[in-house]
Amino acid sequence: MVGHMAPDDKKDGRKDPIDEHLKRVYDEVLQEDVPDRFTDLLNQLRQQDQSKSGGKA
Amino acid sequence: MSDAPDPREEIVEHLPALRAFAISLTRNHATADDMVQDTVVKAWTNIDKFQAGTNLRAWLFTILRNTYYSNRRKAKREVADVDGVFAESMSEKPAHDGHLQMADFRRAFAQLPDEQREALILVGASGFAYEEAADMCGVAVGTIKSRVNRARAKLAELMHLREDEALEMTDSATMSVVSQRVAG
């Protein structure tokens, strides 16, 4: 089977309820605020790099 | 080329998608966030392995799924540690017709085998092409397609059953007709 279309393309134009649910479930997490622990972590990693290499980008 | 963006600075943009993918794999909020944390550290320290100009999100997703599967192998078990994130959403307001379906979808989704759930999320929700997903999972494109198809078939089966039960709950005669129709 040749599958070059996007997975949820339907020839008759109907939306697939599974895709709708899937996206909704996924989008809910996408819209959550990213917990501070991650931005803190990134800051930490950046600072570690800078102190190790003396300011190398 | 000296002002080429540092891919490490882009990682933060992909965190929501990474969390969504992690939660779909682990079905547990706490485990998912720990996994994303590990992924961020690995990505940061191995950024030299990332080819500038290629798909950073795909690269991050690949690190995350490798982490998930290697943790799973270490644990030597696949216990569904479902804390209800994907089985049932606390924040979801009941819609008049959508609520039951969403709850059933979440339950059905959580029951899929990891590889099928992952394939469906990558291709159906995260927007990767089949070829990209195949690359990330280290399998043939046909394997990804087959996993997606099996996942969708399973979900359709589980959800239609639930839908019919919801509609015809009080009528056992109708239920028998419904079961026959679904099985047919």
Q: Which two tokens stand for residue A47?
A: 């600072």
Q: Report the complex ipTM.
A: 0.70
Model confidence at B76, in pLDDT bands (50, 70, 90)? low
Q: Name the residue of chain B whose CA is nearest to A31's CA.
A: B16
What pLDDT shows up at residue B169? 43
How many C-beta atoms lie closer than 10 Å to residue A27's C-beta?
13
Of A26-30, B25-29, B98-102, B151-155, the range with the lowest mean pLDDT is B98-102
Q: Name the residue of chain A whose CA is nearest to B105's CA.
A: A21
Do the Cβ atoms of A26 and B24 come within 8 Å?
Answer: yes
State residue B127 phi and psi, 5-degree precision.
Answer: 80, 20
Q: Is the pTM of this model over 0.95?
A: no
Do the Cβ atoms of B33 and A41 come within 8 Å?
Answer: no
Distance between CA B102 and CA A36 in Å, rounded? 29
**Chain B residues near residue A31 by CB distance under 8 angstroms:** 16
Greatest alpha-carbon pair distance for chain B in Å reads 74
What pLDDT shows up at residue B60? 96
Residue B50 contacts residue B103 (beta carbons within 8 Å): no
Give 3-state DSSP helix, strand, coil % of chain A, rounded to 5: 60, 0, 40
B47 pLDDT exceeds 70?
Answer: yes
Distance between CA B177 and CA B167 in Å, rounded? 13
What pLDDT shows up at residue B138? 93
CA atoms within a 13 Å half-sphere pointing along the CA-CB vector of A18: 24
Find which of A1, A4, A38 to mutate to test the B interface (most B CBs within 10 Å of its CB): A38
Q: Which two tokens stand for residue B115?
A: 């590889």
Do the Cβ atoms of B130 and A7 come within 8 Å?
Answer: yes
What pLDDT shows up at residue A41? 96
Average pLDDT over every residue of B56-62? 95
Distance between CA B53 and CA B10 in Å, rounded? 12
Model confidence at B96, in pLDDT bands (50, 70, 90)? very low
Shortest CA gap B102–chain A (Å): 7
Do the Cβ atoms of A38 and B12 come within 8 Å?
Answer: yes
**Chain A residues near residue B17 by CB distance under 8 angstroms:** 30
Q: For B102-139, how does the pLDDT look when each residue is reduced to its tens digit (9 = 90+)?
A: 778 888 888 899 999 999 999 999 999 999 999 999 99
What pLDDT shows up at residue B172? 52
